[in-house]
Structure 1
Amino acid sequence: MEQESTLDATVRKRIRSLRKGRGWSLDNLAERAGISPSQLSRIETGHRRLSLDQLTSIAAALGKSLDELVESPDDSDVVIRPDRDERRGLTTWLLTKGNGPHDLTVGKMRISDQAGGVTPDDLGVHPGRDWFTVLSGTVVLYLGERVIRVEAGQAASFSTMTPHAIRCDRGPAEILIILDHNGERSHLHT
């Protein structure tokens, strides 16, 4: 019950904040939402119960989805928690949830799997392109027969139809990586 009242108060604050952020009076938003200004005032101040039909109208008038208006105020949309893969020596923080712009996924990776001993079986192939920039440390990019060192401040972009693998060199490295759909499936869900 307390969570419900917290969510209720959050929704009311969002409505008021969005209205004020647009420079709208109670009358402006009420007219756009098809409700009376007094109803809107009572909704914002907590003197009227929130109803689904009114919330739907208010959300549409504000140019928001109902989900955006009533999303839970917990920290899951703010705090990005790492996903550790000990077997592969990777820790990944997904910076985009779901599909990012143009179906791309952006993530930060900490690579602790050392270079050396990479066999042809370690090299993966998938349609598309991968892009990354090295934030710290040095990365060794195995690209077909080539072995390329990419240092902090440098970036790499390559066709993923070439067999490839990424390892760190002499200590952990961190990269910011942009993957297309195929790259996300190959690198993050194996």
Structure 2
Amino acid sequence: MDELQRLGPRLRAARQERGWTLDELAARSGMSPSTLSRLESGKRQASLELLLPVTRQLGIRVDDLLDAPDRDPRVHRTAIRRDGMTIAPLTREASEVRAFKITYHPRPPEAAERELQVHEGHEWLYVLSGRLHLALADREHVLGRGEAAEFDTSVPHRMRAEGSTPCEVISIFNTVGERLHLHST
């Protein structure tokens, strides 16, 4: 059975998991029940024009109906050095949640303090080594190895290494400002 032949049974299974009849999903998707039936049975050639309304109603992506090819799970992105930091991306650029390993290099005492930043999102930090100076609005915090922080990035903020040694941090950032929910298994 090739990939397109497996699409129909997967479509049927997704519909049945929601407890919907063929007529219900067809009506929600704006197509005739016979067209949907032929898609599910493999008697109708699948096209994006037919699949997109159906997958939207099911709350899935077209990719979910296809076997995703094995892809290299490693992230191949180049670290960036700027403003006294080395930023190594840990996620693909298109991720909704982005993770970085950031090394804050000590700043010379005469260096001007960076401006406080404000932007949409939510950020989580975990200090791997060194000490992190975190300014949130008018409050100052120093986090050591093994400590974590979480904050709304619409609050004015800035970070730097505290002291004379570099500080390594894992930063998780959600661009839409939603909190990351971790579920234990």
TM-score by length of 1: 0.55
Alignment of 1:30-69 (within 5 A): 30-33=26-29, 34-37=31-34, 39-59=35-55, 61-62=57-58, 68-69=61-62
Q: Contact (CA 8 Å) 2:127, 2:143: kept in 1 or not?
A: no
What CA deviation, in whole Å up to 9, does each residue of 1:39-61 have, x standing for no partner? 43432232221245533453454
Distance (whole Å) between structure 2 residues aligned to residue 180 and residue 49 of structure 1: 38
What CA deviation, in whole Å up to 9, does each residue of 1:95-139 have, x standing for no partner? 8947x5xxxxx4322134443536534624333587433153344
CA RMSD of aligned residues (A): 4.4
Q: Contact (CA 8 Å) 2:132, 2:167: kept in 1 or not?
A: no
Give 1:151's match in structure 2, choosing from 121, 145, 149. 145
Structure richer in helix, relative to its length: 1
Change (3 A) 1:60 1:84: closer
The runs of 5 or more residues in structure 2 that have no matched partner are: 177-185
Change (3 A) 1:96 1:32: same
Q: Secondary structure at the match of 2:40?
A: helix
Give 2:171's match in structure 1, choosing from 167, 176, 184. 176
Q: Contact (CA 8 Å) 1:134, 1:153: kept in 2 or not?
A: yes
1:134 aligns with 2:126: yes
How far off its partner does 1:179 sit?
A: 6.3
1:89 aligns with 2:86: yes
Distance (whole Å) between structure 2 residues aligned to residue 51 and residue 41 of structure 1: 14
The runs of 5 or more residues in structure 1 that have no matched partner are: 101-105, 182-190
Give 2:16's match in structure 1, choosing from 20, 29, 39. 20
TM-score by length of 2: 0.56
Change (3 A) 1:120 1:159: farther
Number of residue pairs matched by the alignment: 163
Letter of the 1:111 partner, please give it. I
Distance (whole Å) between structure 2 residues aligned to residue 41 and residue 178 of structure 1: 43
Distance (whole Å) between structure 2 residues aligned to residue 91 and residue 30 of structure 1: 47
Give 1:165's match in structure 2, choosing from 148, 159, 175. 159
Q: 1:185 corresponds to which residue?
A: none
